[in-house]
Amino acid sequence: MSWWGRRSDADFAEEIRAHLALEADALARERVVESDASATARRAFGNLTAAEERFYESQRSRWIERIRQDLIGAARQLRRSPGFTVTATLTLALGIGLSTSVFTVANAVLIRRLPVGNQKRLVLLWGESRDGKSSKLPLTLDIVHAMQRQFRSLESAAFFAFRGAVPAPIRFGDQVFPIQLGMVSGNYFQVLGSRAQIGRALRPDDDVEGAAPVMVLSHRAWKRDFGGDSAIVGKSMSMIYTNRSYRIVGVMPLGLEYPGQTDVWVPLVAYGAAGGFLDALTGEINALARLRPNATAADARAELTALLAESDSHALRRGVRGAVQSLPEAVLGNLQPAILLVSLIAALLLFITCVNVANLLFVRALSRTSELALRSALGANRGRLVSQLLMESCLLSIAGGFAGIGLASIVIRVFVIAAPGSAPRIDEIHLDGATIIAAVVITSIAMVVSGLAPALFASRSFAHGSPPSSSRLTTNRHLRKLAEGLVIAQIALAAITLVTAGLVTRSLMKLERLDLAFDPHDLFAAALAMSPDRLSDAQSQRVALALVVSNIRALPGVRAVTPVAAMPFVGDGGGVDDRMSIAGQSSEDRTGNPIENLEVASPEYFAMLRIPVLRGRVFSAADRKGSPPVIVISSSVGAHFWPGIDPIGRQLRLPPNEFTVVGVVPDTRYRDAQIARPAVYFPVEQWPDVPTTLLVRTDDSRVASAPAIRRAVASANNGITLVDASAVEELLAAPRAQPRFNAIVFALFAFTSIVLAAIGLFAIVATMVRQRIPEFGVRMALGATSKRIGTGVMRRGLFLAVVGTALGIVGAITAGRLVSALLFDVKAFDGGTLLVVASMMLGIAAVASWIPARLGMRVNPVTALRREN
Amino acid sequence: MSTQDSTPERITLLQGTLDLLILRTLQLGAQHGQGVARAIQRASRETLLIDHGSLYPALQRLESKGWIRAKWGISTNNRKARFYELTALGRRQLVHEESEWRKLVRVVALILGPEPVGES
């Protein structure tokens, strides 16, 4: 046992103090005269002062000196084993760099902000049926007024038209734009806490009957339709539906398009009153409200439910309760699970990194046992050994941290460059200091802890007694077991991320190969606009449209053209939606009916889109204006109104008209690529409006293209202009952007974790081989073949991989529930994915252990045996 | 020595001798460091001065070898001090070292011959 090891400095100091006191007492007892006393003391103590100085000084500065020495020693040790140092630094860099960069990108893309004041407190209120089957039921103006008056949970409340943004053409000069119109209350922007970027927002005094007609533009529409010209504010545009001129008073900031994809906001009451449909508008509205600072969404929901229970309306009172959704969630989607998942995986990746580095440190401690034993024998105590090992960890984590920051900034830059232009807010992505500091701090703590464990372990094992011979020490079982356990954990974690990545990728593949229930190949969608000057009535519009249709049909490679009500995949608010009903339902009963997509269809529509007809017939040329009104419904509409009964020949009403069902087709994903929606199709001739969207089926998308369609529309020169023409398959890319992004993020995570796991496995097998070289030498000298030795090594590596993968797959099945929100049509337990992951893991493990196994096979028995001595 | 002043002549201890002296001193009973140093000084008639630099490491060495053990106690003049005492192992070691030493002294004396007269 060494001097510093057993007793504390304080104890020693105490003994010295006691010594001095005792000596002083002794001198006093001997009654030495004062002058003599000092001399005697000097004599008696000889080099007391020096001893004292030596002791106290060393005590004070010793730790600084020690740290300096340990730092130098640690640096020397790291330099001496460049393989370990480089591997550990790279592992850290990879872990820190990739986890922070992916987290940063994911966060920037997923966590978006609306240009409103404190978006967390903004909520949307509506009704839902008590059985939960129907949601987003509209409220009435009276209810919203009551909310404004009574609700303690709300600071303020605004309202907007239930249908969100509706398509409405506007005329500016001689141009007509098909814009999305949002009808909102005058205090809408006040409640949002949103100021105009140019001019002003709508005000409450704009929203009274008879107020001067005004509108505000969304930033997107301002850029797209008006080239971002600031002079637009103050000019007027006419709404074709109301035939009134509206003055543009402002442009709202970028990112605000709610409700739906609004291009132009008008004050609801003033607009409705001017158009004569105010009652229809105010009968079905949604509320947007700001919660009081201490109130929660649940408070607002409870108040709304209580209010509805006192409603005059019997149906509302009995069947509807309050529903509240946060505005950011409604606009940006519910991002909590995705953000949680990305954070979790980033943390997992960091954890794997820590485990990996801990493992490397363990393995290193193993191979350094003789060095540690020697140092301990030469008088280094345990504290000293621990201190130096810790110092090595610190140096590594500093190096790894810097390399990780470098890597992260490179990865982010590459990501920004490589990302598709459609990726939202990609230009705002930058390396977040807090994120990277967090990653470095976490890793450093892990490094210290993982450096500490082997240090304590090693010092406890080797600081005792005489230095044992190196070969006996290197087989320290505990250390090896621990290191192997860590590798198993790492392989398991890699398997979990790989399974997740596999699931997300498979769900992306499913999404890409999705059965839309119509055929998007070689299909173009063209949005048209009609000049209200040249085409003032429906009849002239129909004639003009017929000419454009025949022009397009005449294009080479075009097989069919059909007018439709909406562009594909426009989602909410992009088309015409309504609730159909059956005879005998009261207006309140109707609130339980599904909201259908209302589509128009020509006789060739279903054949052209390759939508199968399940029952009945499709439209024919006989279904024209004046003939009995007919509809084709999608299967879920029939299932709702006539469960188990053939709907053919039955009637659906859309007041004031009644329509006879003549055919049933499947629900398609025409409006929303991810959800098959209920739809009702009307014959184009019986549809009150003239459709302004065309679908064009071509033989070969390369022959007939968007420019050709544009030329065909222009050549008609009859007041119809082409607004947009795109291949439907291109339009499909937008709804798939997010899943694709998810797949990329997870693939990156999985790649990193596999690389880390492979490094870990390689390190441990390589160390095992190095340590067993003497043993291999003996066995070879006794006649073992190199093949046999190689197999033994491989078997160990593969054993670890098999155990790790098995545990990982069990973990992945459990963790799968978390990702289920991100999955589309793939179950969290996906046999195929698990099989692929398992074989991938084992393949990688085989390579990671084969390389060191070859090392073992090349052992020269003579050299190996000599090394033993 | 002619140059000596009031300070008695000091001699350098042979390596390992201090251990023997400490063990011998402690044979008389438990003692603290200062007591051990004083006792050796007094017994050597102030010829041997034991400095801390060697005394305490030596005590520690002996303690770690298990020849002596230590515990905190109160000195005769009521001060806290760390008292050392011989262990059974230490007693045996003392016997052994003493006989070794006497053997060594005899052998060295044989080689050096009789002590010259006149030197104090």
Taking 3-state DSSP, the helix, strand and coil percentages for chain B, each rounded to the nearest 5, stand at 50, 15, 35
pLDDT (0 to 100) of residue A58: 46
pLDDT, position A465: 41
The answer to whether the CB atoms of B77 and A25 lie below 8 A apart is: yes
What confidence score (pLDDT) does residue A721 get?
A: 78
Considering only CA atoms, which of A211, A128, A194, A129 is closest in space to residue A156?
A194
Using DSSP's 3-state secondary structure scheme, residue A262 falls into coil
Q: What is the model's pLDDT at position A869?
A: 41
Q: How far apart are CA A550 and CA A336, in angstroms?
A: 50
Neighbours of A83 (CB within 10 A): 9
What length is written for chain B? 120
CB contact under 8 A, A22 and B7: no
Pairwise CB contact (< 8 Å): A47 & B32: no
pLDDT tens, residue by residue, A360-394: 776 677 667 667 677 766 666 667 777 777 788 88
For chains A and B, count residue pairs whose Cβ atoms are closer than 8 Å. Answer: 63
Cis peptide bond N-terminal to A178, omega within 30: no
ipTM, two decimals: 0.76
pLDDT for the residue A466: 38
The average pLDDT across A706-725 equals 80
Per-residue pLDDT band for B5 (boundaries 50, 70, 90) equals very low
- Which among A15, A20, A52 is the nearest to B82, CB-wise? A15
Q: How far A4 CA sits from the closest chain B CA (Å)?
A: 10
- Whether residue B34 and residue A55 make contact (CB cut-off 8 A), yes or no, is no
Looking at residue B2, what is its pLDDT? 38
Residue A418: its pLDDT value, please? 59
pLDDT at A202: 93
* pLDDT tens digits along B62-114: 888 889 988 888 887 788 888 999 999 999 989 988 888 888 888 888 888 77
Nearest CA in chain B to A28: B77
Residue among A12, A25, A51 whose CB faces B51 most closely: A51
Q: How high is the pLDDT of residue A5? A: 44
Token digits of residue A668: 């398609």
Q: Lowest-confidence range among A440-444, A554-558, A607-611?
A: A440-444
Least confident of A125-134, A391-400, A571-580: A571-580
- Please report residues of A whose CB lies closer than 8 A to that of B79: 18, 21-22, 25
Of A53-62, A188-197, A305-314, A411-420, where does the model show the most confidence? Answer: A188-197
Does the distance separating the beta carbons of B77 and A18 come in below 8 Å? Answer: no
| % of chain A beyond a pLDDT of 70 | 79
Residue A248 has pLDDT above 90, yes or no: yes
Q: Which of B51, B64, B77 sits opposite A47 (nearest CB)?
A: B51
pLDDT of residue A474: 42
Q: Who among A22, A48, A50 is closest to B81 (CB)?
A: A22
Evaluate the omega torsion of the peptide bond into residue A656 and state whether it is cis, within 30 degrees of 0. yes
Q: What is the mean pLDDT of residues A340-347?
A: 72
**Residue environment code for A191-219, b if the CB has 16+ CB neighbours within 10 A, otherwise e:** bbbbebbbbebbbeebbeeebebbbbbbb
Query: What was the pLDDT predicted at A291?
Result: 92
| Residue showing tokens 């454009």 | A548
Whether the predicted pLDDT of A398 surpasses 80:
yes
Give me the phi and psi of A457, to 5 degrees please. -55, -55
What is chain A's mean pLDDT, rounded?
A: 78
